[in-house]
Chain A
Amino acid sequence: MAVNQISVFLENRNGQLAEITGLLAENKINLRAISIAETADYGVLRIIADDSEKAKNALLQNGNIIKVNPVTVVAVPDKPAGLSELLNMLAKSDVSIEYMYSLFTHQNDKAYMVFRVTDYDNFIKLLSKHGLTPIHSAELGLK
């Protein structure tokens, strides 16, 4: 059910991000989602690649420090309050969001959000209660 996300350690210096996107381009890897969390001195780049295995190997070979984690992709109605309803539901539960960001993909009037939460099983239960299901990698065309 989960989608693989790759996190990369970023030093805060000029060209660091270009170096990584360049590497992925060379390996013909397409990015479906990207997010960065940073402090003044370093950051964490999180990506969802169309071929996560290939992306992982390319980054490791390049000497990057990475981590592969499962994340949950949820399709929410692409309309005002579409995300808000889902977040309100979570706010009332014990599930906390560690971080979230959006996927580039947008289809069938749905926007796709990437979630990393504290309690995955509970999160899934909550989703199904509200008629939502996590999106499979295959549905997004991810390997």
Chain B
Amino acid sequence: MSNYYQPEVETASYEEIRALQDERLVKQVKHVWENVPYYRKKMEAKGVTPEDIKGVDDLHKLPFITKDDLREAYPYGLLGADLSKCVRIQSTSGTTGKRVVAFYTKEDVDLWEDCCARALVAVGATNEDVCQVAYGYGLFTGGAGLHGGSHKVGSLTLPMSSGNTDRQLQFMTDLGSTILCCTPSYAAYLSESIHERGLRDQIKLKAGIFGAEAWSENMRRDIENGLGIKAYDIYGLTEISGPGVAFECEEQTGMHINEDHFIPEIINPDTEEVLPIGSKGELVFTCITKEAFPLLRYRTRDICVLSREKCSCGRTLIKMSKPMGRSDDMLIVKGVNVFPSQIETVLLEQGYPPNYQIIVDRVNNSDTLEVLVEMTPELFSDNLGDITTMEKELVSALKTMLGIYAKVKLVAPKTIARSEGKAVRIIDKRKI
């Protein structure tokens, strides 16, 4: 297959990529120093100036940016370009309710869409293809990213957004979609629906790009067999741009990082020490081309391994493994970031005790989120209607905070299991 969208970068020698990174990093640090006072203060506190950064070897001298910084600097504190130059925002949930808002200039959108186009071409997309984008459209980066990438490739783009399975299947069969982009759980669901309705003979899919949530090799096989396609992973996060930060090629042994835009590092999450390539640790990204939201050394909290081993697809871009876990307590449910602290914030606001338990499960390949809350004498009423009203208000407040539905279950006091006096907050029953 071996098709490339931008071969000059995707198959460049390590020396060429490195030279590009050195040059772009130096320029970017200067840009941030001059335009982002929030980060400049962090650099000053560490005694670093742009003159100290002469290339990638000096990257470790720069301070990290964490989710806490994003919250503190919300909404404009990390903005690196004049608002008049910004044309778009995308957003994702933050740790305590404040959402992460990322800004994009025209050029930022352009490079993000290039990254997605590389991912699409890597799975075989051409201008002859029909690309069904069934990621959510809106603040979520999934829909916008793959949509833009598909445009660049010249595929016929079906902007389906997520859900409405009847309509998805109708377009898939009537227009002969060949590439499907959505979350892996939705792909599995579509596959089941296709079988239930006996539509297997009418679909023309050949490949799919499935990201935004964790999935196993088993699930990959199920989707591949169910839809008769090759299923590829994609990685990204709103803070860095969106999907397409890294993408899988035909070899399916990890995702190539678009390192001409994003320099990866692996650190020990506890000591923050940079680890050599091949070590397992927390992934950190430095954006070297983005203007509006130019995060340097952003700690993703995803745990993974990098590899520079030669890839049979011909790409030389460094590869990252599937994330193996998190260095914080963030959960990804239905592709949405969920922090226990967000749930705690809502409970306290609504007058509930901060004693809760989050149960995440995967039923029929779809994630479920349940929040167990202990009843209190103050909240209890002899009138059942009062309790159900209160419960509905809580469900609605959680939906507003998290962006997804969480089932609330009111339980008797002291029923939430405690270990050594500390409640067990999260039970993740998903077997991924």
Residues of chain A at the chain B interface (Cβ within 8 Å): 5, 7, 9, 11, 37-39, 41-44, 46, 63-67, 69, 98-99, 116
Contact = CB atoms under 8 A, between A and B. Distances in A.
B412 interface: yes
Given A65-B413, A66-B380, 9 more contacts: A9-B410, A11-B410, A11-B411, A39-B384, A39-B388, A42-B411, A43-B384, A44-B384, A67-B380
A65 B376 CA distance: 7
B387 to A, nearest CB: 7
A5 B382 contact: yes
Contact of A67 (B377, B384, B388): B377
What is the predominant secondary structure among interface residues of chain B facing chain A?
A: loop
A44 B410 contact: no
A99 B383 CA distance: 8
B409 A41 contact: yes
Contacts of A37: 384
A11 B412 contact: yes
B197 interface: no
A43 B382 CA distance: 10
Nearest to B383: A98
Contact of B381 (A39, A63, A67): A67
Contacts of A66: 377, 380
A28 to B, nearest CB: 24
Contact of A65 (B384, B388, B409, B412): B412
A69 to B, nearest CB: 5
A11 B382 contact: no
Interface in B372-429: 375-377, 380-385, 387-388, 409-415
What is the predominant secondary structure among interface residues of chain A facing chain B?
A: strand
B413 A46 contact: no
A85 to B, nearest CB: 26
A80 B140 CA distance: 63
A65 B375 contact: yes
B353 to A, nearest CB: 12
B383 to A, nearest CB: 6
Contacts of A42: 375, 387, 409-411
Contacts of B376: 65
A26 B384 CA distance: 28
Contacts of A116: 382-383
Contact of B380 (A9, A39, A98): A9
A55 B99 CA distance: 49
8 contacts: A9-B412, A41-B410, A65-B376, A65-B412, A65-B413, A66-B377, A98-B383, A99-B384
Contacts of B375: 9, 42, 65
Contacts of B377: 65-67
Given A9-B375, A39-B388, A42-B387, A67 B413 contact: no
A95 B381 CA distance: 20
A98 B383 CA distance: 7
A116 B413 CA distance: 26
Nearest to B411: A11
B391 to A, nearest CB: 8
Nearest to A37: B384
A67 to B, nearest CB: 5
Contacts of A65: 375-377, 380, 412-413
B384 A11 contact: no
Contacts of B413: 63, 65
Given A66-B377, A67-B377, A46 B412 contact: no
Listed residue (A5, A9, A42, A99) with the most chain B CB atoms within 10 angstroms of its CB: A9
A44 B387 contact: yes
Contacts of B380: 7, 9, 65-67
B413 to A, nearest CB: 6
Nearest to B382: A7
Contact of B382 (A38, A41, A44, A64): A44
B378 to A, nearest CB: 9
A60 B384 CA distance: 20
Contacts of B383: 44, 98-99, 116
A18 to B, nearest CB: 15
Contacts of A39: 384, 388
Contacts of B414: 63
Nearest to B376: A65
Contacts of B385: 98
